[in-house]
Amino acid sequence: MNENLRHALIGARLQAVDVASALGVDPKTVERWITGRVPYPRHRWAVADLVGVEESDLWPELDQRRRTAGCGLVAMYPQRCTVPHNVWRHIFRGAEQEIDILVYSGLFLAEDAGIQSILSDRANAGVRVRILLGDPDDPHIADRGAEEGIGAEVMAARVRNALTLYRSLREVEGVELRLHRSPLYASIYRADADVMVNPHIYATPAAQAPILHFRTAEESGPASAYLDAFEHVWTEAQPATSAC
């Protein structure tokens, strides 16, 4: 229901049939606008003039769309755990050049045999796959575990578990795994032009923090800053040894 439009029509003492007559459309079309359908631009402008308000007062969500259109943001999920499972598989499966993953443990991916299979297939197809996990002995791992309330030992154990789960994937040509000792302000998942960013929030597990899905083919915009951060961490990270 578009409450803004409904209240504006009430304030102007207009019914759906009045708007329909003024704009030359079917009254049922106006009723659909009131229940939530967004009209074509020419109809939005006409309705705004009819009730004497700005278009953005009736459809404020359009301003948000315009603000985000130029930055490549295509979706925002309230929590990482709300991202549909097939979205992860779709973006990784669609990669043709590179896949980058920067996390502390990213255990939800390491535990997924289907994702691992996709990463292996993509690497075998010539895609460069780079995975950055946190060094389990790094103090930042302990700090993050304490922040999330699970304990330093648990967070380090998660990283070691991910390393174990990735053991067979690490043998695939084209897959490189490194350990970093950098404080993470966001986890980053990149498959060519698709960039998923999971900002870290103090005292909040990553799975409960939002996900921003960017799609960009240019070296500009917010996504490029996250990709630059990945490269910085990658450069300073150390290869994971078989002993890890």
**CB 142 within 8 Å of CB 152:** yes
Given the candidates 3.40.109.10, 1.10.260.40, 3.40.50.2300, 1.20.1440.230, the CATH classification of the domain at 3-67 is 1.10.260.40
Extents of the domains making up the chain: 3-67, 70-239
**What's the pLDDT score for residue 67?**
52
Confidence of residue 143 (pLDDT cuts 50, 70, 90): confident
pLDDT in tens, 163-213: 999 999 999 999 999 999 999 999 999 999 899 999 999 888 889 999 999
Separation of alpha carbons 143 and 138, rounded Å: 9
Class of the domain covering 70-239: alpha beta
More confident residue, 39 or 120: 120
Say how far apart CA 188 and CA 179 lie, in whole Å.
Answer: 15
More confident call, 107 vs 217? 107
Q: What's the predicted TM-score (pTM) here?
A: 0.71
pLDDT at 166: 97
Q: List, for residues 63-79, the tens digit of each pLDDT value.
A: 555 555 556 788 889 99
